[in-house]
Amino acid sequence: MKQKQLESYLQQVDGFEEPKLRLEQYPTSPHIAACMLYTIQNTFDDIKGKLVADLGCGCGVLSIGAAMLDAGLCIGFDIDDDALDIFRRNAEEFDISNVDLVQCDLCSLDAEAYVKKFDTVIMNPPFGTKHNQGMDMKFLWAALSMAKTAVYSLHKTSTREHIQKKANDWGVKMEVIAELRYDLPAVLQVPQKEIG
Ligand SMILES: C[S@@+](CC[C@H](N)C(=O)[O-])C[C@H]1O[C@@H](n2cnc3c(N)ncnc32)[C@H](O)[C@@H]1O
């Protein structure tokens, strides 16, 4: 499948109906999702036939894209039932069967149960730069324990140095694969007090 075609399919994936600010429910745009997934498959061969985990899967744009690129199975993890209901609906509408869901808090995941159980982890984690400081690093830590081969994650450029330092501390090789412009939807740019 061509990247443009993947992007146009992903434009039909329904997003959050009432995004919850405390959970940083901003969706990955179809363009960024397609770009990320296409690169993971075509440059690194890390999706087709692989067992993939999508941490903080939300309504499923990354999982569904991975499934379309022939992941063996993509399992989405998210804390929020409302988002997972939309994910389920999206998967049904696309008639996709190589996805599954786990409802859980990734900050208190039973680490033992998932250690090195996945070939690849993909994610667009919460930024973790406001009320939930460090959340991005908790997601990264969980992802690194779950992945056998690689973790592909979206982060703010301003946190790169910090992540590089953590990667060094954890003995993990980190590489910047692409720089993408991410426009936060206006609905999530309101002050923090308007928590969903
Ligand atoms: C930035 S959104 C990304 C959503 C989706 N992956 C996408 O790309 O459109 C972050 C997701 O992480 C989920 N999340 C936030 N805190 C979480 C936690 N502690 N455990 C599991 N999921 C969490 C949110 O519900 C939300 O769906």
Nearest-CA residue for ligand 1 atom 22 is 78
Atom 15, ligand 1: residue with shortest CA distance: 23
Say if 25 falls within a structural domain: yes
The 10s digit of each residue's pLDDT in 152-195 is: 999 999 999 999 999 999 999 999 999 988 776 654 444 333 33
Q: Which of 24, 35, 108, 129 most suits a substitution to test ligand 1, by most atoms within 8 Å of the C-beta?
A: 24
pLDDT for position 109: 84
Q: What percent of the chain has pLDDT over 90?
A: 82
The pLDDT of residue 110: 80
Classify strands 118-123 and 51-55 as parallel, antiparallel or unpaired.
Answer: parallel
Q: Is residue 188 part of a domain?
A: no
Distance of alpha carbon 22 from alpha carbon 19, whole angstroms: 9
Residues of the chain under the 70 pLDDT cut: 129-130, 184-196
Nearest CA to ligand 1 atom 27: 58
Q: How many CB atoms lie within 10 A of CB 20?
A: 15
Tell me, yes or no, whether 182 lies in a domain.
Answer: no
Residue 63 lies in a domain: yes
The answer to the question of residue 184 being in a domain is no
In this structure, what CATH number is given to the domain that contains residue 157? 3.40.50.150
| Domain around 114 | 3-174
Number of domains in the chain: 1
* Alpha carbon of 15 to ligand 1 centroid (Å): 12
pLDDT score, position 129: 67
Q: What is the mean pLDDT of the chain?
A: 91
- The C-alpha atoms of residue 179 and residue 195 are separated, in whole angstroms, by 29
Using CB atoms within 10 A of its CB, is residue 52 exposed (0-12), middle (13-18) or buried (19+)?
Answer: buried
**What is the whole-number distance in angstroms between the Cα of residue 170 and the centre of ligand 1?**
23
**Burial label, 3 (beta-carbon count in 10 A; 0-12, 13-18, 19+):** middle
Is residue 112 a part of any domain in this protein?
yes
Secondary structure (DSSP) of 83-149:
HHHHHHHHHHHTT--SEEEEE--GGG--HHHHTT-EEEEEE-----SSTTTTHHHHHHHHHHHHEEE
Domain assignment present for residue 193? The answer is no
Residue 41 in any domain: the answer is: yes
